[in-house]
Amino acid sequence: MSQLFASPDEPRPASADPQGAVRSDPEAHGSTESPQAHGQPAASDGADVPGDRVFGAPAPRSEASSEYVVPAVPAPQLRPVPPRRGIGATVVISSLLLGLVGGLGGAAAWQEWGPADSSVTNQAVTLPVSSSNGTSEPAEGSVAAVAKAALPSVVQLEIKTSTGDSTGSGLVIRSDGYILTNNHVVEGASDTVQVLFSDGQMEDADVVGTSPAYDLAVVKVDRADLVPLVLGDSDAMVVGDAVIAVGSPLGLESTVTTGIVSAQDRPVTTGRGNTASYMAAIQTDAAINPGNSGGPLLNMNGEVIGINSAVAALPGATSATGAGSVGLGFAIPSNQARRVAEELIADGSADVPAIGANLDSTYDGRGVRVVDATQTGGIPGVVEGSPADQAGMVGGDIIIAIDGVPVADPDTAIVKIRTHAPGDEVTFTLDRDGSEVDVTVTLGTLGSLDYGDGTSGDDESQ
């Protein structure tokens, strides 16, 4: 490939002109005139003029002459053409126009919608403001609505005992001052119980009656303007129903927590001996802590379906070491609480149903075994003349179901019996020598039965 300027080590072809070169030999233009005809000197002697020379030899200096020659009019010089700037100029002009229009539009918008004082030093920074006026009522059936309605009827109880002070919760059940709570809340009170209402008023209360067997108690304040809560139908609740617990956990009055019904008819026993309590409890995962005891468990209609009474704790935990909510709380069903509360208000005590049989706590087979005389040193397992005796139950019988519901241990059997009232008829399915037998027992009253050992139903007697 020929080049206008060849590199030093690249030979130039002899037969071809360099591309783009201007030849100075006459043959190249088809002319026979000598170089002198055009004012070009001949080549010096002995010097070769290469045929592809790009530039001719410089012209010799002309001899001086005195003849004046009128100078020729110089050829007009062409003005150099500047590079084209159309696109760049257009872009610059367009940008300036856009900037001008944007600035004018922004200024107009600021004047129209900006603050009255547009000086930089006086500009105030404002954030969005809520459109709510804070006076709207909570939606019907919401947690907020239930809590708002229930809180004035839930109280905190403060008790002084020989071992110190304690607090619990309670709920108004009658407008004339009656308040329902747990027996273990007021148990051992050495003085009158003080009741703190949600409006901050403090009243003294007297204990009307207690039922250790059901862990319920009623106290009364001297007021007639209270708003009672309605005791609903606990049997209508099903697992998964939403519930709300209200009370004073750890002394924090008017505390509301929420959850669901986790289980129904959960056999729960608290205490032993004369203070043992048995309940077919409503289990809930609503947060219940010490101090919630005696407060209501509400459905979403604001009705009381349980009285919060107990919590399950991790192994080794106590109220002194931090026993509290682990999502396993238990409430006394409202249907049971209603009967007991009415009897406490009327008589100061509540009847406990019983059948008049001793149950074997050492038996680990199927069902619940009624003890026989060989296990008790001659004391019969079934009290003579008791409801169980009259129904035909005998020592050694194994109770496998009550009203068709299987039972597996003495506590479960007692809990199931105590869901009823004295005088109710209950069907017991027995395993007697390998055969199933159904007997109908009309429940009696625990305090009226003599088990022959000086007790009236404690320590697995029922």
> Mind giving me the DSSP string for 237-289?
--TT-EEEEEE-GGG--SEEEEEEEEEEEEEEEES-GGG-EEEEEEEE-S---
Task: Please report which residue ranges of 274-377 form alpha helices under DSSP H.
Answer: 334-347
Q: How far apart are CA 99 and CA 92, in angstroms?
A: 11
Distances (CA, A) of 455 to 184, 279, 303, 311, 396: 22, 21, 38, 29, 21
- H helices of 39-171, in order, are 86-113, 143-150
Q: For residues 410 and 418, give the distance between their C-alpha atoms in angstroms, rounded to a whole number.
A: 12
Contact between 450 and 431 under an 8 Å Cβ cutoff? The reply is no
Total Cβ atoms within 10 A of residue 177? 20
Residues 331, 306 contacting (CB under 8 angstroms): yes
* Helix (H) or strand (E) segment spanning residue 194: strand 193-196
Q: For tokens 């509400």, name the residue.
A: 298
215 has catalytic annotation: yes
CA angle, 140 as apex, 137 and 142 as ends, to 5°?
95
Catalytically annotated residue among 24, 153, 169, 184: 184
Contacts 24+ apart (CB under 8 A), 68-73: none
CB 344 within 8 A of CB 217: yes
Distance between CA atoms of 139 and 141, rounded to whole angstroms?
Answer: 6
Catalytic residue flag (residue 184):
yes
- CA distance linking residue 21 with residue 5, whole number of Å: 10
The rounded Cα 202 to chain-centroid distance in angstroms is 35
Q: Which of 166, 211, 215, 411 is catalytic?
A: 215
Q: Based on the residue annotation, tell me whether 38 is a catalytic residue of this protein.
A: no
Q: What is the SS3 string spanning 366-381?
A: CCEEECCCCCCCCCCC
CA 112 to each of CA 23, 128, 455: distance values in angstroms, whole numbers, following the listed order: 77, 20, 93
* Cα 195 to Cα 159, 340, 412, distances in angstroms: 9, 21, 35
- The H or E element that residue 411 is part of is helix 410-418
Three-state DSSP class for residue 341: helix
Q: Which residues contact 430 (CB under 8 A, 6 or more apart)?
A: 393, 397, 398, 399, 400, 436, 437, 438, 439
Query: Which residues are part of the catalytic machinery?
Result: 184, 215, 293
